[in-house]
Structure 1
Amino acid sequence: MRFHRLFIILSLLLVKVTASAQDFVYQPQNPAFGGSYLNYSWMLSSAQAQNGFEDEEASRERFERDPLQDFEQSLNRQILGQITRQLFNDQFGEGGLQEGQYELGNYQIDVVPSSEGIQITILDTGTGGETTVSVPYF
């Protein structure tokens, strides 16, 4: 028995014990505090799932919508869309928007091809306001 204890103690002393460790680096999860931007949608959905409060106005609006008013708005959008398509075809033809300068009421529209695509500049001659739209090539 004594021999066994002595043998165990000597074996433990002779066995080379190595310890390894690594550096711990703190990485925040929240993108607002330096975390990965890929965590944003997960954190937002998690917070919304835990939110016990409900917006009372939003829930009331959902159930207080008038189907006839929705139908009227949908019909107006369709009629205006059809009128817009007709005006566009009358002004620009079936070929669509071509390079050049167009005048529609108070608006002056310049269509110019560029290296990235087509650049459309809309100038309101009444107010002087200008909008530029770039349509890239695909």
Structure 2
Amino acid sequence: MKKIFIVMSMLIFGLMSFEAKSQQLVYRPQNPAFGGDTFNYQWLLSSAEAQNTTRDPNDLSNDPFGFQQDPLQDFSETLNRQILSRLARDIVDRQFGEDAIGEGSYDLGDFQIEIANSGSGLNITITDVLSGATTNIEVPFF
């Protein structure tokens, strides 16, 4: 029993005599928001988006048919945009062309457009009938 104790103590003292080697641990953040490399941003973002399995049930972009909204409402909005674009082209052509546009009021779907000549140019007021929001545009004379 004493021999085992002596052998064990010699073994322990022998191991303790070896020099322990280690290196300094350095923390380097990965996330650019916390001081990490800025090139990691896209990788972290795409990784997070790939792992995100929660979906907003009210988000219409998750619709399997690809409709963002009612197709009839989309058609109506597209038609209104085209009419307003055409009217804008007409106003610019008439203002800067040979025929100056006259004063008047136009009703286009959900919009009411009033055109009036002022001392400094052409004054256009667009009113959204549904929300009551107005936009004033002044096209100066040259």
TM-score, with normalisation over the residues of structure 1? 0.45
Report the structure number with the largest CA radius of gyration: 2
